[in-house]
Amino acid sequence: MTCWAIHEHQNCQKYGRPDSDFMKWRWKPDGCDLPVFNPYQFLEIVRDKSLAFVGDSVGRNQMQSLICMLSRVEYPIDKSATKDENFKNWYYVSYNFTLATYWSPFLVEAREASSDGPTHTGLFNLYLDEFDEKWTTHIDKFNYLIINAGHWFWRPALYYTNHQVIGCRFCQLQNITDYPMTFGYRKAIRTAFNAINSRENFKGVTILRTFAPMHFEGGEWNSGGDCVRKKPFKGNEVTLEGVNLELYMTQIEEFKRGEKMGKKKGLKYRLLDTTQAMLLRPDGHPSRYGHWPNENVTLYNDCVHWCLPGPIDTWSDFLLHMLKMEGLRSAEEKSHPRG
């Protein structure tokens, strides 16, 4: 009720969701205890530092969750250089901490070729070997970079390398090879990591946040599919399979490749693995309990993003633990200099 950072489309309680159990379940890892997020501790760890989210609207969903989690201590002020909501820069005055978001749903250079397209979600030109300079030219100033992508790769797209069409994803055009979505996804992640590794002045930690599966049942997003479950799956009720497994494995493989290349330049790569935890949470999506600001329109059921508050708040638990571990690693490296 108090956090202004909640996007209207994820404000499930405001728009009539009657149940609240989805806010109370917590992730319990095997063999250890994951502490509840402590906003004071988080802000102390990131004092005098900066963190950027790069990717799609689920990444923005995560940032909004984090802002709300930190609001018990302090709200940031808006120091964005533009009014574009896709490129925000938030500043925590008391901690000299900057939190930013860069919109890049494909991670590479992309342009909309048609506003319609075979699935009515647009047809995109993806330049799979070209950096998206809207974020790659800004990363030098960040200590932490959280990369994410996934859901936009379901959309129809023409794939380009060296400015030549090499194929597509469900473009339904004659004489153009149709590839599975993992083809473009792999090349895009690889190019994003190449962009990071090629920056001479970037010294930060790159964190790949693995994708969070959708939970449409009874149809696709545009054919009546919905997510109406009120409880998480049990561990033995669902497994990562099909295209979700392929996407996840593609991410892991490209992460390992990017990490190996980055190590040669002294760069650090970390994996924020949210996939299994979120696979079990079909109860945490907005479904029909969302709304675009100032618009009286019927929305598709949203089984992609996450209610706030909701299961995505767990990602801040993960992130805080990772930053603690990062601090321990740095302390060890300083006390044990390598010969």
- d(C-alpha 196, C-alpha 131), whole Å: 10
- d(C-alpha 205, C-alpha 137), whole Å: 16
Please indicate whether residue 57 is annotated as part of the active site. yes
- Number of helices (H), then strands (E), in the chain: 7, 11
Report which DSSP code applies to 31. Answer: T
Q: Residue 227 in contact with residue 238, Cβ under 8 Å?
A: no
Residue given tokens 């100033």 in the structure block: 141
Please indicate whether residue 9 is annotated as part of the active site. no
Catalytic residue, chosen from 302, 313, 316, 317, is: 302
Please indicate whether residue 302 is annotated as part of the active site. yes
Residue 240's Cβ-count burial label (10 Å; 0-12, 13-18, 19+) is middle
Q: How many CB atoms lie within 10 A of CB 79?
A: 12
Q: How far apart are the first and last CA of the chain?
A: 54
Catalytic residue, chosen from 57, 104, 287, 316, is: 57
Provide φ and ψ at 302, rounded to 5°.
-100, 105
Catalytic residue, chosen from 226, 305, 316, 317, is: 305
Amino acid residing at 143: N
Q: Which residues are catalytic?
A: 57, 302, 305
